[in-house]
Structure 1
């Protein structure tokens, strides 16, 4: 008996100390995952999690802004997501006079909730596996190049046909999304409803929401309250509508119950969200390519960009607010690239991939087919051929397209054509569109002097990375007209271009000439960057088409092998709704180091550094800590929890995802991964993979005790 108990405890400890791989399709849960979830601790019926015919937890999980996840936490459309997901909208509403990034924002009445231009919240109404229908359409439609199976434009047409055939109701706020899965071996259609009147309700100051900033990003332990809140508004009849001051809070059909019981080691959790991209079916050659191209460029180029941006941001509050969102966005995957490359080497992921691919090749031999061997050889050959083009394309993308903002000036092609044809009607139309484009480019968050400085540094970095004979064509202009002096070229762009200022642009638009456009250095630069990027695309086109076909075959082999083994399968992440599950637990990244599974407010005070903007602690938070004024949100031992880690499988796009306990109650919000788990986008490591989550008790503590916005807590459904 004692031996049996000991074995049971050891088995439980092993489960608690490892993560569970899989970004599962909700449509497959009942068949593939329900038994495992029940065994691990799911305490509600699987139909309560997802049911195609009835309301379930799925109906309270939303796609927030297209790049994050959110959850509905009140019957009146209150949405909880991450601070970094709402960051761009917090920044848009901020100014030197109303610095919500620094001070936080809390709407004390509905009238104070701020409309967020361009923000949407999307509900998933239906998830349909329509693979047979898509294959039927592919077989009868003309497809001269054989590429329709991956074409978004083609798949959109198929989705529209299917919706018409099945009498799916389509409104101006309905979105149909048909995507390929498993390398285009399956197709799922998502029928969605999009709400476009979204208003900002609350956000803590960055000293709470981004505590630790870049230093702590992707790290554990974490001590940040990474959350923000928004509200969905609808027309008085409850239907989606564009922004209107007469719209009302949306009466949702499902909102989550919040549990204040907290988490303990070994607790079962599950997460629903919209993970962005991962590449679990890569072969080892592709992993090495990723390390030497995408990740290398992100680290190298963004280091230069971020250093220059930060220098200017620290000089001026205006610049800090203008570039806060741009800096944060760039820094996020800069550190991700660094950590991923380190982890891929440290964990010998290339060897792991080689073992995985050899297993499939052996399966092919056992089943008497050389299909997988041919696909494998094709992928390896293509990766070798395209290396230089991928490397150059990533350099152009990072340095010129993302880094130099003046690349984004509006196109002058239509205006130039109208001028040369002397077509007055076309000229008037082109001038109007160009003015609209200029206003989007030269917006309140654009600072030409910052762009001037950053562009000089990035073009020099590009020139160091790419040999002279391979560089984009604008470098011929730099060499000929400016004797190779990049600084002089950039200065000339910002001193002479028609896009250098609103005044210069207005003067040009008053009397536009073809000569002014053709001579303009910013125009020449933008055209050169676009042409250079397209050239690398064209250089890889044949390889890309062949790769996609080989990859489809390779993934099909993986599916068949796993089905033969009786192993559940899941497709790579592609920004569609998924579920992951695992247990709360500590982890040990290396010998002698053990990380606990939760953090407390004590850790914030230990990290405080008033001379470092990343670790400033608000005075009121210190006062609450010193007085132990935590209300009902404290742990049983009296401490104030902040974050915890759990062994769920996640990636970018999962930010803001609800973390559920076994009863389907909200206990936290996912916001990050641990540094040691960054390799998970390519190869999952069950011992090291952890999702970092804000404890819901800390979220409510900040809203209630710190912000004094108890009215928001009062509209939530909470159990102790």
Structure 2
């Protein structure tokens, strides 16, 4: 024990900023104090002010949050934005039909007037980052709020942010949005002042055989050969202010836009990336690692596999169904393969032991400094993870097996007795059906796909619930297993899909408008399923929430100890969808013994994978012609090959899709779109030997715009530097 204690103290003393390798998702406002010197030694030619300089135009002003979960970059003086094909996939899909299939054939708007609006799509730009820790502390003291479950919520913090803004910047103006977020589990708070634009138009997209080449098979894999990009434009009111769509709107005049490198990068070059990474957990304790692998990941892997196999079978039968479910399938497989890769990395590199070392350092510090609260926090977290294990498993089963998978389980329900009384009016009932029911069961819903998926999921969910609750007396009662068994007695689930009034407007209106119709509505199979799933999820969530407050307090105390022990300038906060930067170099890796993956792929690899019998690896004839004729223009490598993708040691996660990769001069050299399978465990612990961001080489993007889409006006609009 004495030896272990001394080793832990030695490890604590040896901690230094350089120990993080290339890992970390760092905050721009601390660039000078934390990493600038090292980055400049690696090849950065810019000053800190040229990267982040609020109000004066800098690199960070060209980085945008695209939609709710991706990143993009402004690349022209007219508000042109690059992001990933998969980030714009929903918009491309929404404009597609069997007759005009932009997913299959690609899209290019030859004039500004041909660019397609996308209602509901927003792009935001961070204008300022403010340390709001002291302000929030004073505010909470003033109002007497002590519950971290309240003051760590973004919704609550937004109200505080609005008060800060009024006091310090004046009245909110059009398009200004505020995001105050907790960092280090609530030990620090930063306010992001943003400007949000809501007139975003589709400008160009490659066909899926380029933008999604390799699709699910290649997802999270390297080597990769995907042209994963799409092009949009931000529009504003004529005075430059954010505005809803109008034919009178004009392209944005940005504070800063990225020049595009036509020269590209080579192995060993310094690179930097900025974006909006979503979630990491690199301060996990050992028990949290086990919970992630054995509960969260395993349930996701098992249940999504069942769903995806059922979906895929139906999608391959009919092109229209394939279009309907393409985005849903992609969203499911993305997280599925991530879970597999994270579990592989965690076991290969023994993340439990790594986090035990972190905890041991803190325990030693706690003892040395006579601060037992840090040791108590660790013990409390470990105990609560064990106590909540069954409830956590049930929550994940319902989430993955029912809520995300069975579409009728999320069917809209009548919310109250008062609403039910109002719907006795036939016209009101018909309007509710058209707006609410058909608003959910929309053009991207297919009853036969849902029927097939539901049958598979019901069986899998019941088995999983039995497995995790075997031999236990639960403190909660569940309704859904009984409901599912009753529905499964109906052959081919006809009770749901053939008899439900949800799929027959006339019957729904008749039932709702009739005297005593509330009974028939309540007994409808879709109502029964959707209601029981919601009620059970509330029951499970309520039981789990009993741990939330103590868990949040313990996590905050643990991170308080880490900050005190290591110093804030030596730590990066977990990702939380706020603007960050990461840096590294272009570099291949060794995935396993006697195997080496280089840092650059070319179109040669596309032709090697080409298979017109495969929906994932087919090619349209024009792509083949470009390759065979070597019609690459000036975008080819010196050896004549056409570059496609690259990998870098930058530390990324979900939300970094579409992030710009820039060289030492700040010029765009690539667009991030994925991570390698061996490195997705970096959400828990950075893996310098394995962690790689998979990036579209911007030269391939330029070639596709130039030679495939013939997008001359866009090529002329870009500021391309050699």
The TM tier, using the shorter chain, reads over 0.9
- Residue 550 (structure 2) aligns with: 546
CA offset digits 1:491-547 (Å, max 9, x no partner): 201122221244544555665832232121211211111111111111112211111
Q: Any residues of structure 2 matched to 1:193-212 within 5 Å, and which?
A: 193-212=195-214
The answer to whether the 8 A contact 1:19-1:648 is kept is no
d(CA) in 2 for partners of 1:379 and 1:462?
A: 29
- Residue 473 (structure 1) aligns with: 479
The answer to whether the 8 A contact 1:456-1:487 is kept is no
Of 241-250 and 187-196, deviating more is 241-250
d(CA) in 2 for partners of 1:419 and 1:120?
A: 35
- Residue 498 (structure 1) aligns with: 501
The yes-or-no answer on 1:303 pairing with 2:298 is no
How far 1:461 sits from its partner (Å)? 0.8
Unaligned runs of 5+ in 1: 1-17
d(CA) in 2 for partners of 1:429 and 1:23?
A: 51
Of 516-525 and 682-691, deviating more is 516-525
The answer to whether the 8 A contact 2:480-2:536 is kept is no
Query: Which consecutive segments of 4 or more residues in structure 1 shift more than 6 A?
Result: 422-425, 427-431, 468-471
How far 1:20 sits from its partner (Å)? 0.3
- Residue 8 (structure 1) aligns with: none
SS at match of 1:599: strand
Q: Any residues of structure 2 matched to 1:279-678 within 5 Å, and which?
A: 279-414=281-416, 416-419=417-420, 432=431, 435-467=434-466, 472-479=478-485, 481=486, 485=488, 488=491, 490-505=493-508, 507-508=510-511, 513-563=517-567, 568-678=570-680
Of 194-203 and 514-523, deviating more is 514-523
d(CA) in 2 for partners of 1:668 and 1:132?
A: 39
The yes-or-no answer on 1:274 pairing with 2:276 is yes
d(CA) in 1 for partners of 2:548 and 2:237?
A: 46
Q: Number of paired residues?
A: 695
How far 1:656 sits from its partner (Å)? 0.1
How far 1:63 sits from its partner (Å)? 0.3
CA offset digits 1:691-712 (Å, max 9, x no partner): 1100000001001101111221
The answer to whether the 8 A contact 2:148-2:552 is kept is no
SS at match of 2:88: helix
d(CA) in 1 for partners of 2:59 and 2:328?
A: 34
CA offset digits 1:278-331 (Å, max 9, x no partner): 100001110110111111111111101110111000000110000000000011
d(CA) in 2 for partners of 1:221 and 1:648?
A: 17
d(CA) in 2 for partners of 1:444 and 1:507?
A: 24
d(CA) in 1 for partners of 2:505 and 2:293?
A: 42
How far 1:434 sits from its partner (Å)? 5.6
d(CA) in 2 for partners of 1:635 and 1:458?
A: 49
- Residue 13 (structure 1) aligns with: none
SS at match of 2:321: helix
d(CA) in 2 for partners of 1:19 and 1:262?
A: 24
Of 494-503 and 326-335, deviating more is 494-503
CA offset digits 1:346-386 (Å, max 9, x no partner): 12111111112111211222222212110000000010011
d(CA) in 2 for partners of 1:398 and 1:180?
A: 28
The answer to whether the 8 A contact 2:484-2:529 is kept is no
Of 428-437 and 516-525, deviating more is 428-437
How far 1:618 sits from its partner (Å)? 2.2
How far 1:661 sits from its partner (Å)? 0.2
The yes-or-no answer on 1:96 pairing with 2:95 is no
- State the superposition RMSD in angstroms: 2.0
d(CA) in 2 for partners of 1:478 and 1:21?
A: 46
- Residue 181 (structure 1) aligns with: 183
d(CA) in 2 for partners of 1:136 and 1:681?
A: 33
- Residue 7 (structure 1) aligns with: none
Of 135, 138, 147 in structure 1, the residue corresponding to residue 137 of structure 2 is 135
The answer to whether the 8 A contact 2:424-2:512 is kept is no
CA offset digits 1:24-44 (Å, max 9, x no partner): 011111221211111111101
How far 1:223 sits from its partner (Å)? 0.5
d(CA) in 1 for partners of 2:463 and 2:701?
A: 46
CA offset digits 1:597-619 (Å, max 9, x no partner): 10011111111122211111221
How far 1:486 sits from its partner (Å)? 5.3
CA offset digits 1:153-203 (Å, max 9, x no partner): 321221121111113441342211111001100001111111111111111
Unaligned runs of 5+ in 2: 1-19
The answer to whether the 8 A contact 1:103-1:204 is kept is yes
d(CA) in 2 for partners of 1:598 and 1:503?
A: 59
d(CA) in 2 for partners of 1:400 and 1:517?
A: 21
